[in-house]
Chain A
Amino acid sequence: MSRWLIPSAGDLVELLLLFRAVQGHLFRRYYFFFSYVVSVILASVILGAVLMTEPGSPHYQRWYWTVQFATLVTGYGILLEILNHVLAPYPGAERFARISGLAAFGVIFCFALLAPVIIPRWSPGTVIEFERDLRCVQAIFIFGLLAVIFYYGIPIGKNMKGMIMGYGLYIFTSLVSLALRSYAGTAFDRVWDVVQPLSFVASLVIWLVALWSYCPNPAPDPNIRLEEDYEALVLRTKGLIGTIRSYLGKAARA
């Protein structure tokens, strides 16, 4: 029953999410995020059509992994959305996150292009491991992004927080279940069939609640402007740390 119930609940929440987005004019504001949601809906429609026209066909597996990777790539739009909305007002922090993010994306993209050439047997087992690796890179990317956000104390609004929480939770469960699936083999399939769609429905519910209405990200205070450059600030802070360290060092040696 869970085979039909969970995806149906997911479809319902997806439609509700789109309905609220249209009603609240959120499409224009979160273009990348809703492109991802639309791509997920399209994926469901394509897979549903394949199942209906060719029930029990081996083509389904092929289609499943194709759309899975397509949504995985559009999922990067969510990360781009977070970069644009949360970090854009803070050029320093954004630069930090962008450099590390671009490096991660470059690696994934090159790997995705080269994988069919490098991996001669495109078996489901290999595909699972490949998706696990890609999810792992996404997990590292989100972790790095959150580390930058925490370190620089960047405020996050309700919409963005929900977006990160929902996607992060989905990546977390995907990574755990894919890692366990590739370790335990087909014995884990029964658990996987329930956990994977269930976690996506949970993410959809989080998004629905967080994006029910538009809530802009807090803007930085424009009244405070430092009249010195970054090098001067770094030099000053380095001097400060060096002084304290030398004093503590002397004390430790005494």
Chain B
Amino acid sequence: MITLIFFLSVAALLFSSLFFLARRKPRAEGGSFALIEARQALNALQSGLLPVELVKRIFAQEDWEFVRSEAPKPVRILFMEERKKTALLWIDEVRVQVRNLQRFHRGSARSYARLNPRVELELALSFAALLSACRLLHVLVYVGGPYAAPRMIGAMANAAARTCEISERSLAFLNAAQMGMLNGRPAGHATR
């Protein structure tokens, strides 16, 4: 029976991968489009999502203190709901952009003939752990509200900011002229 379960499990794995292949969109990663995405992800993180003022404002404890002391209950509930929504959106967006940076690494690595499978496996696991941490934060905020993990949010913003610094160096070869050239093309062109 165990043998049968083993073979059926392998068959199920194969079938699920074929299912994903059938549903896969004809879009590649790592082409010029991915490079633009990586650059845009960096811009979005640095200027749109990670400025300290923005993070502080989204998770500002004083705002809640003020509303709690001054406003009636329905306003307090509405405030909490809206803040939670904003916080969740912010976390999701940071995760998406970190994912774009990861995609950039994969898109670059696949072209190197000296790629080391063991190192790549290690990196894949590390990225997975990192994205899981972001997911955990999402759950914490979803369950406990926007003020459930203030320190973790601050640390996540710092970490993502540092990520941007490092990624920016890896994208340094994409100078303004090259970006202009890439942006001038239809997005899907290079990936078809």
Contacts and interface: CB of A to CB of B under 8 A. Distances in A.
A95 B115 contact: yes
Contacts of A180: 4
Given A92-B110, A96-B120, A155-B27, A251 B18 contact: no
Nearest to B106: A152
Interface string B105-135: 1111111111111011001101101100100
A176 B190 CA distance: 40
A interface residue count range (under 10 / 10 to 19 / 20 to 34 / 35 or more):
35 or more
B32 A224 contact: yes
Most buried by A among B1, B112, B173: B112
Interface residues of B, number: 70
B109 A91 contact: no
Interface in A40-82: none
B109 A230 contact: yes
A139 interface: yes
Given A96-B120, A250-B155, A240 B112 contact: no
Contacts of B61: none
A149 B28 CA distance: 10
B81 to A, nearest CB: 25
B109 A146 contact: no
Interface in A166-195: 168-169, 171-172, 175-176, 178-180, 183
A142 interface: yes
A241 B127 contact: yes
Contacts of A236: 166, 169-170
Contact of A254 (B13, B27, B151, B166): B151
B107 A152 contact: yes
Interface of B: 1, 3-4, 7-8, 10-11, 13-15, 17-18, 20-22, 24, 26-32, 34-35, 98, 101, 103, 105-117, 119-120, 123-124, 126-127, 129-130, 133, 149, 151-152, 154-156, 158-160, 162-163, 166-167, 169-170, 173, 181, 190-192
20 contacts: A91-B115, A92-B114, A95-B117, A132-B7, A143-B10, A143-B13, A143-B17, A164-B21, A220-B28, A223-B32, A224-B35, A233-B105, A233-B109, A233-B112, A234-B116, A236-B166, A241-B126, A247-B155, A247-B156, A248-B130
Interface of A: 90-93, 95-96, 99-100, 132, 136, 139-140, 142-143, 146-147, 149-156, 161, 164-165, 168-169, 171-172, 175-176, 178-180, 183, 218, 220-221, 223-224, 226-231, 233-234, 236-241, 243-248, 250-252, 254
